[in-house]
């Protein structure tokens, strides 16, 4: 049954911020202050992964308590998680790959689904379901910027958010590509800073990443 919701589009999600943090919440108390620090630094789009037991509750808390955040679920690997994430308030769903069951589940909701792909065949399967905004994962070991340039020839309408191996040195190279809207990574949300509650450092890293792009433009 289609869920009634006023959802953002995948394009709106992927163009709201040039960098998207891939967040694994290991202590629930960190979710809201981390999200607030990132949003205040100019990073509105937050991917909270389901890699930990706190992912769903963290999404719910950030959705309720950080009004300017666009919060979604990452590392969604099956249809059950998909439904749970949407019910928890996720505004977008990101998976590391794509399966028929996830693609079928995505048709039940207005919330955008951004599946991970690494090959032309996976890209073409996603296209069959009307998906033209995809995650390229894991980016660096699958050819990086050169692979994305190669995708552009036969698939110019497909836009990407590459993740996996993206860091403070190479992220501007990805964002310079015509078919890349944003990048996902963890370099500006280091796990040790989260563990220490050093959200000021995270805000500074996020601001630095955005300001560096402004200097290059």
Give the number of C-alpha atoms closer than 13 A to the C-alpha of residue 67, restricted to the C-beta side.
0
Residues with a known catalytic role? 47, 135
The whole-angstrom separation of Cα 75 and Cα 49 is 5
- Name the DSSP letter for residue 198: -
What is the signed CA dihedral for 20, 163, 28, 57, rounded to 10 degrees? 90
How far separated are the first and last CA of the chain, in Å rounded? 45
> Residue 209 burial (CB < 10 Å; 0-12/13-18/19+)?
buried
């Amino acid at each position: 049954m289609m869920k009634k919701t006023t959802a953002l589009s995948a394009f709106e999600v992927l163009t709201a911020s040039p960098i998207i943090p891939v967040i694994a919440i290991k202590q629930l108390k960190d979710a809201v202050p981390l999200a607030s620090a990132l949003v205040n630094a100019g990073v509105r789009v937050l991917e909270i992964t389901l890699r930990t037991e706190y992912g769903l509750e963290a999404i719910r808390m950030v959705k309720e308590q950080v009004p300017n955040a666009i919060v979604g679920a990452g590392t969604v690997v099956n249809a059950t998680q998909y439904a749970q994430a949407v019910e928890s308030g996720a505004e977008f769903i990101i998976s590391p790959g794509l399966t028929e069951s996830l693609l079928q589940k995505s048709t039940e909701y207005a919330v955008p689904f951004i599946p991970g792909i690494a090959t032309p065949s996976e890209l073409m399967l996603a296209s069959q379901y009307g998906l033209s905004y995809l995650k390229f994962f894991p980016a660096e070991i699958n050819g990086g910027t050169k692979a994305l340039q190669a995708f552009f020839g036969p698939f110019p309408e497909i836009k990407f958010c590459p993740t996996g191996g993206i860091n403070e040195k190479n992220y501007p190279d990805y964002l310079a590509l015509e078919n890349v809207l944003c990048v996902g990574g963890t370099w500006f949300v280091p796990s040790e800073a989260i563990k220490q509650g050093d959200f000021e450092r995270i805000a500074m890293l996020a601001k630095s990443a955005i300001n560096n792009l402004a200097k290059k433009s």
